[in-house]
Homo-oligomer: A and B are copies of this chain.
Amino acid sequence: MRSPQAKRERQTIHDLASIAGVSISTASKALNDTGRMGEETRERVKRIAREIGFRPNALAQGLLSKRSFTIGLLTNDTYGRFTLPVMAGVSEALVDRGVSVFLCAIEDDPALGQVHVEAMLDKQVDGIIATGKRVDRCLPIDLSNVPVPVVYAFTEGGPDSVSFRSDDAQGARLAIEWLQASGRRRIVHVTGPEAFFSVRERCGAFRAVAGEDAVALFGEWSETWGRDAVEQIWASEGEKPDALFCGNDQIARGTVDALRERGLRVPDDVAVIGFDNWEIVAGQMRPPLTSIDMELKELGRQAGRTILALAEGQVVEPGVRTLPCRLVVRQSCGGRNSLEARSLEDEKQRR
């Protein structure tokens, strides 16, 4: 015995029309508030549509309108650390416009990328957002000749493309200025490989604010490097730093662990600030880590809004758009003060 809500075929506009006793053209016009008809007819059709739970078939609509209300999100960031927030932002910006997102994970495999892109184009996506794990690397697939608009988020786009990334220099300034404002004067920058664009960008800003002769140490993006860097600094001659600005939260964690093992107190003896605001690392540390958030979700939102605009035929100036980073204050840079409290307040409100 089938329950009344058992799986059943979807109602079509033909069903709606015959139940309402009108033609399908009238039904369509009633629902879309177009055409001419009596107000009572329009209302009756709409009411019946609501009652039988009619929803138009998007495939049929798309066939006619050349818009599928679907976009593709291409990523090679399997681990998802950067991609996930971007994705969440994209989805958030699009869902209430009725646009759904195809997720395509292409593990740096050009052939797989090609397969995904073709599958998306077959499904008539209105646009593609490309995203990655590094702003200075392209995806392993050329999107410049794809017949739909493309925007790049947190990955390198082609010459005439629209792309979004966070403002590394501004983020770095935010960090340094915060350390200086809390009285730190001897700041050392412990960061990732110099080959990364972000590293050079942040380092440039660091030197511009902290002084051209300020020390920057390049290594890998790991806790181990953070620990090694502390060993290296404290083993060397001369005055020791009273603050470390780290290239990411994992390096920061390594430095904090090493400092603690040396008997140095964070933040009393040395303040530490990270980058990425990776909750799972920064929040679990002792003490919790003050860090720079790249606002990737906002980046995703903007990418989403932009692809939508392009899909609707608006013209968008090509070029790189940088988004400001945000300081998230925890306890690794000094006691809780009014400024901190305010910042924490901010963060709560964003949730």
Contacts A95-B119, A123-B100; A63 near B55 (Cβ below 8 A):
no
Cβ-defined partner of A7 (8 Å) among B104, B147, B279: B147
Give the CA-CA distance A146 to B68 in the complex, in Å: 22
Given contacts A95-B115, A122-B57, A284-B250, A88 and B63 within 8 Å (CB-CB): no
Considering the complex, which residues of chain A in the window 59-74 have a beta carbon less than 8 Å from any beta carbon of chain B? Answer: 59-60, 62-63, 68-70, 73
Does residue A101 face the partner (Cβ distance < 8 Å to B)?
Answer: yes
Query: A222 contacts B95, CB within 8 Å?
Result: no
Question: A265 to nearest B CB, angstroms?
Answer: 15
When the two chains form the complex, which single residue of B57, B102, B115, B146 contacts A102, counting CB atoms closer than 8 Å? B102
Is A78's beta carbon under 8 Å from chain B?
yes
In this complex, the interface size class of chain A, counting residues with CB under 8 Å from chain B, is: 35 or more
Q: In the assembly, how many copies of this chain are there?
A: 2
- The 4 A-B residue pairs with the shortest CB-CB distance in the complex, in nearest-first order: A103-B103, A5-B145, A58-B122, A80-B84
Query: Is B59's CB under 8 angstroms from A124's CB?
Result: yes
Contact yes or no, A55 B103, CB < 8 A: no
Tell me the residues in window 167-226 of chain A with beta carbons closer than 8 Å to chain B beta carbons. Answer: 222-224
- Cβ A115 vs Cβ B103 within 8 A: no
Beta-carbon contact of A55 and B121 below 8 Å:
yes
Contact of A58 among B103, B123, B280 (CB under 8 A): B123
Which positions 15-32 of chain A face chain B at CB distance < 8 Å? none
| Contact partners of A78 in chain B: CB under 8 A | 84, 88
How far apart are A76's CB and chain B's nearest CB, in angstroms?
A: 12
Cα A80 to Cα B87 in complex, Å, equals 11
Q: Give the shortest distance, in Å, between A70 (CB) and chain B (any CB).
A: 7
Known contacts A63-B63, A116-B95; is A101 also within 8 Å of B100 by CB? Answer: no
Say whether B84 contacts A104, CB under 8 Å: no
Determine the chain B residues whose CB is within 8 A of the CB of A91 once the complex forms: 103-105
* A35: interface (CB < 8 Å): no
Chain B residues in 8 Å Cβ range of A73: 103
